[in-house]
A and B are shown apart, each in its own frame.
Chain A
Amino acid sequence: MDKVTGAIDQFLPPELAKQVMAPFEPCAKYYATMDYLLYLEKDTAYRADRVDSYLTLLWHPDEDQAVGVKLKGFRYLFERMKEILGTRNIEISDDEFLPLVTALEIAMTAGDGPRLLAEAQQARLKEKYEKARTLVRSVQFDPRELKLAA
């Protein structure tokens, strides 16, 4: 059962509480300490489903609905790219990372995020149908029962 155990102004100063309480809008943000870009379509608790070391899908806690996606390792890839280009005497400054991340945030918010979620849901649906087909194929079926039912 839902129970109220506190109020936001006990935990956050007024200016931060006001920001958090503004209406939620789907958007992508980069989390530097964990080095991932998080696109969220809904603000809800979610179940994290780790696909691999670069991608985690976030599912609604009670429904088969993808609500977000985490794309991991941007800074890592940027550093590797810098190293590779450095061997070809092409220098990239660290200052170029933030504009790159901002561009990615915009791209995810504008269209790539919703597209990734739609693809994830489609893939899960396909997987469920495949499981159902496998299950049906494994069932021993007596055709006489069908006659009786008719």
Chain B
Amino acid sequence: MSGSKTTPSWIVKACDPSGTGQVLLALHPEPAETMVRQRRRAVLGQFFGLIQQSEVLLNPVAAYRGLMRPLNFPGHDDDVIAYITRPSFTYTFSDDGGLVRYQAPRNCVFVAFVCFAQDVLTDLHNNPANASAGGGVLDWEWTEADPTVPYLPVDYQTRYRSTLWTR
């Protein structure tokens, strides 16, 4: 993974993975730079509107550890934590650059992927403005909700390695 000293620092508040306290997270520079290059106004709007402005990661309904897929570094699969939230709205940047709030996709939950591994922290701390960050936000998306437990993602029983907690 790479770090960048030129990407600005974006710090957000989140619930501690234990579910009890608070932790500061920084947006990892690599996905941020790629999202900008791909001109993804919708996903950047979600970060600034939902994660930074609305602080949805402070009150997730569940947290899971590990993805059921092979990731690029040995052991990394277990380090990723999925925060599950269910805001009723989402955001995008409109054509005139306004951050616009509108209704969330129907029957979906908002999932953010966070990592506290040392190599991620090293990438983040390349930028001194990220010194306070205890973890990195790597990705986020709206995911289809489970039909029977609508506040969790579909197949929540099998898509993650372990449940940290649900509320």
Contact = CB atoms under 8 A, between A and B. Distances in A.
Query: Do A and B interact?
Result: yes
Interface of A: 1-13, 16-17, 19-25, 27, 29-35, 38, 40, 43-50, 53-54, 61-62, 72-76, 79
Given A29-B34, A29-B37, A31-B139, A45 B42 contact: yes
B25 interface: no
Contacts, number: 149
A41 to B, nearest CB: 12
B21 interface: no
A20 B70 contact: no
State which size class the interface on B falls in.
Answer: 35 or more
Given A5-B49, A9-B97, A22-B39, A76 B106 contact: no
Contact of B141 (A1, A30, A46, A79): A46
A32 B36 contact: no
Contact of B144 (A24, A32, A49): A49
B48 interface: yes
Contact of B101 (A2, A31, A47): A2
Given A5-B99, A7-B99, A31-B34, A20 B93 contact: yes
B20 interface: no
Contact of B72 (A3, A17, A49, A75): A75
